[in-house]
Structures are given as C-alpha cells and as structure tokens.
Amino acid sequence: MKALILTSFLFLSSQSIASEIHVKVKGMVCSMCAQGIQKKFTAQKAVESVKVNLDEKFVLIHTKKGEELSDEEVTKIISEAGYNVAEIKRK
C-alpha cells in the first residue's frame, strides 16, 4: 500500500513540475536561424521560455508547469523551421 501511495505521489509530482528540454540543432548558423526557432517555440502553448545558443547550436526550452512537449513535437517544430535535431535531452 505504501509503495502504491509513493508511486502515485511521485507521478503526480512529476506532472506539476516544469521540465527543461535541451535540443542540439543541426544547420543553425546565423541569428536569423536562432530567431526563427525561438519564435516557433514561443508560439507553443506549453512553452514557458526559450533560449537559443547559436555558438553551441542548442535550444533550451522550459515548459509551463503541468505542460509537456514530446520529442516528436520538438522534432517537428525544429524541422518545420528548416533544421534538424541532433539530440534531445530532458532534465
């Protein structure tokens, strides 16, 4: 019984915490690239904030509390902006 309660608590807690998504992007070479990607993610309902690091070629996305973006959604947004995803990591 304790295990069930603990598991339920952990699941519900993880749903209420905002997540951080690190995306390595191939093909992002200029500030216009970075602005385009940032604009695409900012338009998403689930996104709290977006930071694009052009030098390191990655995008850092923070989702709103209780919201999620799947890897498939992230990949689709990057692809629609004209770039390719090299790697997605979550924290």
Q: Are 15 and 65 in contact (CB under 8 A)?
A: no
Q: Mean pLDDT score of the chain, rounded to an integer?
A: 85
Helix axes 31-42, 71-80, angle to 10 degrees: 130
For residue 37, is it within any domain?
yes
Q: Using one digit for the tens of pLDDT, what is the confidence trace for 35-65?
A: 999 999 999 999 999 999 999 999 999 999 9
For residue 4, is it within any domain?
no
For residue 5, is it within any domain?
no
pLDDT of residue 36: 93
Sheet of strand 47-53: strand arrangement: 47-53, 58-63, 20-26, 84-90
For residue 8, is it within any domain?
no
For residue 62, is it within any domain?
yes
For residue 32, is it within any domain?
yes
Provide the number of structural domains found in the chain. Answer: 1
For residue 50, is it within any domain?
yes
**CATH assignment at residue 53:** 3.30.70.100
Q: Are 28 and 37 in contact (CB under 8 A)?
A: yes
- Which two tokens mark 59? 């995008």
User: Domain of 57?
Assistant: 18-90
Look up the pTM and report it. 0.79
